[in-house]
Homo-oligomer: A and B are copies of this chain.
Amino acid sequence: MSQSIEQPADGTPGRTPARAVPTSADVARLAGVSRATVSYVLNNTSAVRISEPTRERVREAARELGYVPHAAARTLRAGHSRMVLLPAAHVPIGPLYSRFFNDLQWALRRLDYTVVQYGSVGLAPEAAARAWAELRPAAVVSTGEVEVTPEAVEILRRSGVKAVITIGTRDADGTHSLVLDQPGVGAAAVEHLIATGRRRIGVVVPEEPGLGMFSGPRLEGARRAAGAAGATVVPLPLAYTEESAEELAARWPGLALDGVFAYNDEYAMLLMRALQDAGTDVPGETAVVGADDLLLGRLLRPRLSTVRIDMIGGHELAELVDRAIDGTAGGATRRLLSGSRVIRRESS
């Protein structure tokens, strides 16, 4: 039973079985050099001098065997990896995030890091942190899907993670925090509505789970902006379905709202269409403002006004990650990303 070695029924005993994965030792044997030499050659180590003919022999042997280094062994030996862990979001992600992610990935690859998007759906913060820590990444960049508690940060730190970066609605202790100014988004929208003469303003709050992290602060910002101007804000729960939108539109006259900020261009489009079908004039009776500046928002009539949000660029973030890893970025950092501005089209 114990000899269940995978041995292809190969009749030629002279040939190497070679079904095992080739290692640097195999390369060394084939090239007739030591394993150390192989390592030096394949890593282009500059401190050691190896003659050019030998280098070529080693490279040729590696090519012939189809040698691929073993990342785990490398990580083990080095004591750390060059992996940047990106806990994956499970919310449907828009083109904004998609572009951001690609830029980040590209820029980090340029800095010789490997980006790994790692799913940790529905785990507690500490459990998730432990799962991340097992991979001994050099850095963790959390985009706010899983909350990063101080305990989670401690777990990561103890496991050798050099940098923890969070992108979210508020800063997390002990990390480099990029705080998206979500209240600013709500405030910008409401201030715009007030500037165009609206006084009773609805704010759509998505019922979908996972969006609460964004919608809450946006509502709060809207409230503050309205309060400062003596206007009123009414929260409006809405699910991303036609039925929900119709239901809301049906009781619209009773709400007596002259403006609405809809969290998102998608929710805005959904609501605006439902309002029009129910006989409400946009923007005559009610002005509508979305967010994210989607192309599709310009296809409806009236064209949708929107709040454009300034996200940090992937390249910029990649540099922050790099500096945070080699320690030149200081301990914990907080940086506010604010730059929301309203793009007025026809719906407001």
Pick the residue among B73, B94, B114, B119 that contacts A118 (CB under 8 A).
Answer: B114
A149: Cβ under 8 A from any B Cβ:
no
A66, A68, A88, A91, most chain B CB atoms within 10 A: A68
A134: B residues at CB distance < 8 A: 68-71
Q: How far is the CB of A123 from chain B (nearest CB, A)?
A: 9
Pick the residue among B95, B121, B135, B273 that contacts A106 (CB under 8 A).
Answer: B121
Stretch in contact with the other chain, from A153-161, A164-172, A192-200, A305-313: A153-161
Q: How far is the CB of A65 from chain B (nearest CB, A)?
A: 8
On whether the beta carbons of B298 and A154 are closer than 8 Å, the reply is no
Stretch in contact with the other chain, from A46-54, A97-105, A217-225: A97-105
On whether the beta carbons of A88 and B72 are closer than 8 Å, the reply is no
Pick the residue among B92, B109, B270 that contacts A99 (CB under 8 A).
Answer: B92
Bound CA–CA A205/B114 (angstroms): 34
Bound CA–CA A108/B114 (angstroms): 22
On whether the beta carbons of B121 and A105 are closer than 8 Å, the reply is yes
Q: How far is the CB of A24 from chain B (nearest CB, A)?
A: 13
A69, A72, A115, A158, most chain B CB atoms within 10 A: A72
Q: How far is the CB of A204 from chain B (nearest CB, A)?
A: 15
Kindly report which residue of chain B lies nearest to residue A134, judged by CB atoms.
B71
On whether the beta carbons of A269 and B242 are closer than 8 Å, the reply is no
Known: A66-B158, A117-B116. A98 touches B93 (CB 8 A): yes
Give the copy number. Answer: 2
Bound CA–CA A295/B298 (angstroms): 16
A21: Cβ under 8 A from any B Cβ:
yes
A75: Cβ under 8 A from any B Cβ:
yes
A266: Cβ under 8 A from any B Cβ:
yes
A21: B residues at CB distance < 8 A: 136, 158-160
Kindly report which residue of chain B lies nearest to residue A102, judged by CB atoms.
B90
Bound CA–CA A109/B118 (angstroms): 11
A296: Cβ under 8 A from any B Cβ:
yes
A136: B residues at CB distance < 8 A: 21, 70-72
A215: Cβ under 8 A from any B Cβ:
no
A300: Cβ under 8 A from any B Cβ:
yes
